[in-house]
Every structure is written in structure tokens, then in C-alpha cells.
Structure 1
């Protein structure tokens, strides 16, 4: 059990823990907020200090801030090997700890590295875990001292939202629940082997292949084509037959000359068309027919109304025809100019290509052609080597994937058989979870814990009906952590304490706050466990109002954010 948490300066709030339930009240003032870590009372910080003293990396840890560098934090806890208590001291930001009494073989005058301290924590708090390669004390402590930081209460199976493979979580949960952790750890090993495929694929992209070919059939085809071309090039080199290459370039130059001439003749035609169209547009106009009306009037002939209307319609039609004619000529002029511009670009490209070829023909000869062939075959040899390297990588990737696939099928079968043999553990865990959940909610609430083999992982599912609710989700975490703590403690696999950040009760209905706290107190008492929870006063008041009496479990002093000295550390800091 944890016995005492302290620091080497007067302002720090020292806590002496006892067996069973331990409640640390965090008094919140009206101006404080749940997200105000700088001015908070320190209930979340208490969790962080415990992790720091039990081997958390210094890094960006709270206790590594500059303000704590001269401070030393201390934790006194039961230590099975000693048959008594051990005090561990760690200075802010330090990468070593000091124990009292000194631990044999691991330290000089009680001082040991952080790595050695983690090993000692694992040996003493999780004594059977050292037999399994994939288990670590820090991961196991993630379930024993679950913290809200990094989303620790978002899912019962995971204590962090960091990028950690689910197979890692499964190995540690299998250990806590009394399953064959060594067998389950093979899921993790196979996942790591599968991840090596990603590294091979990255290496594949790094090859100088021009276009990366991913299909083995395409690679085989390219290899055969390269080998065929290389054989032909080698034959030409052996016989010094370089004239065909020379003639090919000359033929291509002649073809380009012919194509350029055709484009030039087409340009001449379009330029004449352009001039004709432009001339037509300048001459084209809509003729006026006003003279007809004037002529009829001078002759004294009055046109009838029907004739007048017909005359107007013909006039409109005539105007439309004339306008369409002009629009057609403008569009034809635009298209003609576009063709001229397009051919101008084509002539430029072909002329540039012809210039390069003529330059090579003028500079080259039999020796130059031989050198070009030799360069060509060397280039193809390099491409062939790259393709063969890619083939080797693809073969390795495929072999790994096939091997992992077969091993996963075999592992799934073995896990299935092992779970059948350990069905008593599954039943015990499921029954505990159901009992705990129904004690919080009701005897009719659907709640169960299933543990089965999965395709790529151990499939563990703690379920409480309507668990999508934030409050029910938090109580699902509480029930699951109690199951893990009880199962591990009963089997001698884990410590006799469980610590939760009080935010596990945030968003929980009043009745469930009361029944959840009551459940934790009763389980701790019945199982010989220690349950520690720093909790906000307003949340605790909900539980009190619904029948839970916290007074027997309260620790002193309470924490508060009312003034500079009320928090855990006794002073405010940025």
C-alpha cells in the first residue's frame, strides 16, 4: 500500500494514506474552473507526483518544471521484498531516485538510475510480469494509477490516447486478468513484424527507379525487356555495328524536316484564308432597305397593312441572316489564327529536336556511336539492378505478410484453446464486472465483460447498456479497473492499491456518484485493497446528498484553490 506522500519544503500538503478508501477533497471556489491547471487545487497534480515517484520519465513532466528543480518529492510505500516499507525520493527533473533503505545490488548508497528503479517497481509491484518480455511497470501502472491526462478515461482498455498499439494494451490486460500474457504478447510481436513491412515499403520508394513499380508481374516484364535490349546492344557493341543508330538519327532528322515543311505549307494556306476573311469582314455590312418605302411613297402607292407587316418580317429576317454571316466570319478568323499559333509551337518543338539530332550527327561518328551504345547499356544495367532489388524487397514483404498471416491464424487457434482452459478466469472477471456495474446502476442493467480471441488482438469488451453516455462511460472505467485490481491482487500479480483522478466522477449522475464511491469503498474493504481518489467538493456533495457518507474516508488537509497556499504544492506557478 501507499503510506505517505511528502516533499522537502513546508508548503507541500503531506498525505498519509490508510487501507481501504482514501478521499482527498479539493475545495473549488467560484472563480476557478476545471480546466485551470495553473490555479487549480492540485488533485490532478497529486496523481502526477505519484507517477513521477514511481518512475515516470522526466521529459515534460510537471515535476520537471524549473520551479521544482530544487525540490525533492518522497513516497513511502510497502515493499514486499523488504517485508516493510520503502521510502523513495526524487528531485524535480532528476533521472535518478534514492531509496531508503538502499536496495541491494541496484544502487550506490541508495541512488539508482531511473531504468533500474522501474525494474525494481516491476519486480515488487507486479512480481510475475518479469517473465513476459512485452510487459513493463510503467504500462501496468497506467491501469493502477489511471490519470485523466491524455484522455485516460475515454476508454477502459486504454489509459492513454498516444499512438500505442492495441496489442500492447492487450498484453498488459491479459496479465492483470490472469490470462497467459506470454501467449497474448505474441500478438504484439506479430504486429511489430508486420510493421517491418512498412519499413521495407519505404525502402522500396527510395530506390532510383523513375516510376516505382508495385506489381511483380510488371517488374518481371520490365526485367525481361531490359535483358532483351541489353543483349541487342551488346551484340552491336561486340560487332561495332553502330551505323544503324547513326542511320536512325539521320532518318529521324529527315522526317522532322518533312513534317516542318508540311506545317509551313499549311500555314501559308491559313494565312491566305486569314487575309480573305479579314477582307470580307471589312466589306461586309447590313444593307439598308429604307429606299423601298420612299420609292413607293413617291409613286403615290400606299402599301396595304398586311403587306406592310409582311415587309417588316422579311426585313427582320434579312437582318438576322446578315448578322449571322458576320459572326461566322469572326469565328472562322479566330479558328484560323488558333491553327496558325498551334503549328507555330509544333514547328518550334520539331525544329528544336531536329537541331539536337543534327548536332549529334555533326559531332558523332563511329566512335561517338559506340560510346552512346556503351552508355545506354550501362544505364539499362543500373535499371536492371534496381528492378532486381525491388523484386527482392517485394519477395521479402510477401514472405513476411504470408508468415504473419499464418502465424496469426495459428495464434488465434491457440488463444481460443487457452481461453477455454482458463474459462474460470474469464467467468470470474465477467461476474465481477456485472456485479460492480449493477451495484452502481440496478440489478436489471445489462452489463457484462467478454474476453475472446481476435483476428489481430485479444478481444476484451466491457459493456454497460447506454455506455455512450459520458457518465456511464466513466463508471464503466471504474468497474473495469476494479476488476483488474481485484483479479491481479487475488492472484499475487499486482499491488494492493488503485488510484483514480477524481475526474472519473465528472458528468456522473448524483445517485451513481454515491453508488460508485460506495462500491469502491466496499470492494477495497472486502479485498484488502487501498483506493485513493482526489475529488472535487461539489462532486462529493452529490454523493453525500444521495446517501454516501464520505467522512470516514476523508484525508487531511483538504486542497483548495482559494489562495496561494491552498493547493498541493503550496504556491502558484505558471
Structure 2
């Protein structure tokens, strides 16, 4: 239990606590205006300060990090398992705890400063976990493990911890609430760790699937069936390329042969063109020879006959000479044409021989080119094969990755089912603990609202699900009272433990929107249970929110008020200053 909080900050108002119900009231002075509130009186700050002294992290936005507290120390006097312990902490040394008094004699010290033990905050938390919740220090080495701060946050909720019973702040991870509640309810909390491991694995698989569909890994994975089909088709193409490579014959002078074949083709084309020209000329010559006739000498003869009247002897001789000359010209012409015809035919015959030789040479080259290939063609074919082979290997890797994801998805479903089964068995074996929790929650809620509320623990594929039902819980007040019932239930469940939390702290947020009658009942139940089950119940309230307690016999308000005067004035708050 908590005994006293002090500080060397000059204007800080020391706070002393007593057994049972402790009500910290923030008063409103007569001179207060409508604009003045008690939000700065220090109610929530007191809860935060207690958490700070009990090992919570000191962050940049922490209360004690305010510059006005520089070089200032806050001290907590408390009793743990019958032993008085006093510690001090400063924001200037957030990782250091000064132990002023230790009647337990079991706090392992790191060093001694000014005759006081100095330990790390980690050591302090380990000590608190062992003394308050009987935590085995070996568990702290486990990932997603139960810790003192995780558990104690349910017994000293921050101002953000009054939305739902199973969370102490809105962004609390599922595994944290599940681990804490299963431990506090005395169920197998180690199973929850396994659920979180599966969740992390499932989260990774989902991220990979999303990335493969639309993110950085798009195209790396796909449908296993589609990939298998594509692999079969690409493999068949790859085999064809492989056979082509194996049967490929390299011809070193391939390019020379290819060039020679092109030249022969050009030569054959030129020869064919020459043949066409000679054939046309030969046809003309042959027609000329065929139509060539002996000359008609009749007109010449008549001319010579008329001239012979005057020159008979001379004309006869000249005519014979003319006829002989003319016949020789005709004969010579025919002989020349015949000779030209023979020359053309010979030329065409030689050309034909050359064409046959060239054609044979070209056929031989083409046959060789058909059965062999050039070295660069071979390299090109090798490149195509390598690319095709790489594509097939990539497809296989895609298929492997996709199948691996499919297997992991299946494994996750199986693991979830297995864990759910283990959870069912665990809940069956610990049915008495669950029964006690359910009945206790029902009793407290019935005392508040005349009807028992329902607290259920449902084993699911995602770990235990905790649900709290109070009739009409949609109202703000009843939703807050679920938290009251849950927290009180926890205090009762731990009553018979040798090491247990003996303090429960509720900030004034708990009663926001709660009907005055339920607030009165809550205070009455709180005081009664704190006494019956031997724990300290600390609550903060505004004075004008304090309900009429006259209907609750035996409730003496003065017994429960903490001797601390805080108001809404500039110097009336817990720290004596506004900041």
C-alpha cells in the first residue's frame, strides 16, 4: 500500500494515505469564477506521479519532465508485503532509483550514493513485479511477456484508460490486453504469446500478398495454378531451344559462303539478262536470213538492153560484171549473218554452261548454309536460350514463393485452430477461476444497477475475447461503471494470493457522466470491499461531484478523506503552481 508522497519541490503538498478508501477532493473556492476549473488542481497529476514513482517510463511529455522540476526529486513511502520501502526518483536521472529505506533487504543494489542504495529502474520494476504479482524474472526475457507495468496499469489507470475495461489506453495492442487479463484472471497467459506470434506471422503474409498484388513485389508472385501452367509452356519452349543448340553446327566461313551465294545470284541474274538480249538479236538475225532473196535484175536488164543498141560490146561485158558483183554481195551478207548467228549461239552456249556451274556452286553453298550456322548466330541462339532459362527459373521461384505463402496461410489456420483448442482446454481446466470472475462481476454490477452484468471470456481463433455487459451500457455512465466492476473484481480475485496488488487507484474520469446514485453506491462498495479484502482504494474527485451518502448506513465520509487540500486557485493545486 502507499503511505506518503513527498518532494523537495518547495510548494509541493505532501500526500499521506491510509488504509481502505482514500478520497482526494479538489475543492472549489468561493472566489472561483466560471472560467476556473479544477483540471489543474492535480488530481490526474497525482495518479501520474504515483505511476512515475512505480517505474513508468519518463518521456518528453511526462509530468516530471517540466522544466520547473529540474533537479527536483519526488519520494514515495510504501509498504510491500509488510516491509516498509522508500524510494526517490528524479526526471534528471530517469533510469535511476534511489532506495532510501528497504526493510525487505532483497533489493539488489547497483551502487551507494549518500548512504543510499541506487538501482536501475529496470531492477526496481523487476522487484515490484516479483513482490506485487509474483512474476518470475525469467519471463521478462520472453517476447510479448507479462510485466509489472503492463499489469499495474489496470490498477492505476491513466486519464486515457477509462474507455473500456480491458484496455488502459486506446492504442493498446491486442496482445498486451490479452496477456495482462489472462494473467490477472489466472489463465494460461503463455498461450496468448503464441497467438501474438501467429498474428505477426499472419501480418507478414498479408503484407507480402498485398505487396505482390499492388506494391513493391508486384509481379513477383501470383496464382500458383497460373504460374504452373506458364512454367509448363515456357519449359517446352526451352527444350526446343536446347535441342536447337545441341544440333547446331558452326561454319567458320559462314559469312564468306553467304556473301559468295549472294554474288552468284547476282551473276546469274546478269547472265540471264544477257541471254535475253542475245535471244532477241538471234531471232532478228534468223528472220533476216530466212527472208533474204536473190535480187530482181529485170529492170537493170532492160536498162542494159536499151543501152546495148548503142554500146553492145561494152554493155554485155559490164552487165555480166554487175551480175557477178551483185551476187557476191548477197552471198557475203548471208555468210556474215550466218557467222554472227553462230557467234551468238556459241556465246549463249558458254553462258549456259557458266550458269549451270554457278547454280551448282550456289546450291552447294545453300545446302551447307542450311545445315550449318554462323558463330554469331550460335551466340545469339545461346542468348535466347539463357533468357528463356532465366524466365523459367524466375517463374519457378515465383511459384515457390506463392506456394510457400499458401502453405504459411494454411499453417496459420491450423495453428490458430490448435491454439484455440488449447485455450478451450485451459478454460475448462480453470473453470473455477472463470466462474469466480463471472460471479464477482455479476455481484458488483447488480449492487450498482439491481441487475447482474455479464462478463464473458470467449476462446476465438485470435485469442481470448473479453466482453463486459451491463444492462443499458450504451450510456456513458454505465460504460464507466463496467470499468469499476472489472477493477473491483480483480481486487477480489487476488485476495487470497500471498503476493498481490493491495492498491487500486481511480481518477475522477471514472465518474464522468455517472448518475449520482451509482457514484454513491460505488463509493460505498469501494469502502466496504477495501476493508473486507484488505486493499487500499484511492479515488480523486471534485468536491461538487461528491454524492449524498446519507442513505448508506455506516459510511463516514470524514474517515475516507485524504488530508490534502487542493483547489482551483493558482497556488492551490498539488504542486502549488500552475504550469
1:230 and 1:544 mapped to 2: Cα distance?
Answer: 90
Q: Which TM-score applies when normalising by structure 2?
A: 0.69
Q: Which runs of 5+ in 1 are unaligned?
A: 243-364
**Pairs aligned (count):** 440
- Is residue 473 from structure 1 mapped to residue 471 from structure 2 by the alignment? no
Q: Does 1:190 align with 2:198?
A: yes
Give the deviation of 1:238 after TM superposition. 4.9
Higher deviation after alignment, 99-108 or 460-469:
99-108
1:406 and 2:414 aligned: yes
Q: Could you say which residue in structure 1 is the equivalent of 2:539?
A: 533
Segment drifting more, 168-177 vs 225-234: 225-234
Matches for 1:200-279 after TM superposition, within 5 Å: 200-201=208-209, 211-238=219-246
Q: Any gaps of 5 or more consecutive residues in structure 2?
A: 251-372
Corresponding position of 1:512: 518
Q: More deviation in 467-476 or 226-235?
A: 226-235
Find out whether 1:447 has 2:453 as its counterpart.
yes
Q: Structure 1 residue 370: deviation in Å?
A: 5.5
1:394 aligns with 2:411: no
Q: 1:569 to 1:241 in 2, by over 3 A?
A: farther
Change in Cα spacing, 1:136 to 1:379, as seen in structure 2 (3 Å) is farther
Aligned to 1:145: 156
Query: Is contact 2:97-2:119 (8 Å) kept?
Result: yes
CA contact (8 A) 1:73 1:92 kept: no
Superposed, 1:166-565 pairs within 5 Å as 167-198=175-206, 200-201=208-209, 211-238=219-246, 373-442=381-450, 445-492=451-498, 494-540=500-546, 542-544=547-549, 549-563=556-570, 565=571
User: Does the 8 Å contact 1:90/1:97 carry over to 2?
Assistant: yes
Deviations 1:34-82 (Å, cap 9, x if unpaired)?
7x96xx11111111111111221222322223333322122122233xx
Distance 1:208 1:562 in 2: 58
String of CA shifts for 1:478-514, please: whole Å, max 9, x gaps.
0101101221232345311111111100110111111
Equivalent residue number for residue 162 of structure 1: 171
- Give, in whole Å, the separation in 2 of the partners of 1:390 and 1:69: 59
**Which residue in the other structure is 1:90 paired with?**
89
Which among 101, 105, 109 is matched to residue 108 of structure 2? 105
Does residue 66 (structure 1) correspond to residue 67 (structure 2)? The answer is yes
CA change 1:409–1:531 in 2 (3 A) is same
Shift in Å at residue 204 of structure 1?
5.5
Q: CA deviation at 1:440?
A: 1.6
- Rg comparison, structure with higher value: 2
Instruction: Say if 1:211 and 1:193 are closer, same or farther in 2 by CA, change over 3 A.
Output: closer
1:223/1:449 CA distance change after superposition, 3 Å: same
Root-mean-square deviation (CA, aligned residues, Å) is 3.1
Contact 1:43/1:501 (8 A) holds in 2:
yes
Counterpart Cα distance in 2 of 1:46 and 1:448: 32
- Counterpart in 2 of 1:348? none
Compute the TM-score of the two structures, normalised by the length of structure 1.
Answer: 0.69
Instruction: Determine if contact 1:5/1:14 at 8 Å carries over to the other structure.
Output: yes
8 Å CA contact 2:212, 2:222 repeated in 1: no
Taking the aligned partners of 2:542 and 2:387, their CA distance within structure 1 comes to 73
Counterpart in the other structure of 2:290:
none
Q: Deviations over 1:414-445 (max 9, x none)?
A: 32233223222122112211111121222xx2
Q: Do the aligned partners of 2:77 and 2:87 also contact (CA within 8 Å) in 1?
A: yes
Check conservation: 2:211, 2:217, Cα contact below 8 A: no
